[in-house]
Amino acid sequence: MTLVAALVAAAVVVAVLMTGTALLARRVGRLAVVDVVWGAGFVLVAVVAALVVSVDDAGGPGTTARRWLLVLLVAVWGGRLAWHIRQRAHGLLGPGETPPEDPRYADLMEGKPFSHAVTRVFLTQGVAMWLVATPVVVGIALAVPEDPWARWPIALGVVVWAVGLTFEAVGDAQLAAYKAVPKEERPSVMDTGLWAWSRHPNYFGDACVWWGLWLVGGLGSGWVAGLATVVAPVAMTYFLAFATGARLLEREMMRRPGYPEYAARTSMFVPLPPKRA
> What was the pLDDT predicted at 52?
92
Q: What is the C-alpha to C-alpha distance for residues 200 and 246, in angstroms, rounded to an integer? A: 7
* Nearby residues of 145 by Cβ (< 8 Å), 6 or more positions away: 221, 222
> What was the pLDDT predicted at 60?
59
> What was the pLDDT predicted at 94?
41
Q: What is the C-alpha to C-alpha distance for residues 108 and 102, in angstroms, rounded to an integer? A: 10
3-state secondary structure of 20: helix
0.85 exceeded by pTM? yes
What are the E-state strand segments in the chain?
none
- The parts of the chain modelled with pLDDT lower than 70 are 1, 56-62, 89-104, 106-108, 277
Contact call for residues 102 and 14 (beta carbons, < 8 A) = no
> What was the pLDDT predicted at 92?
41
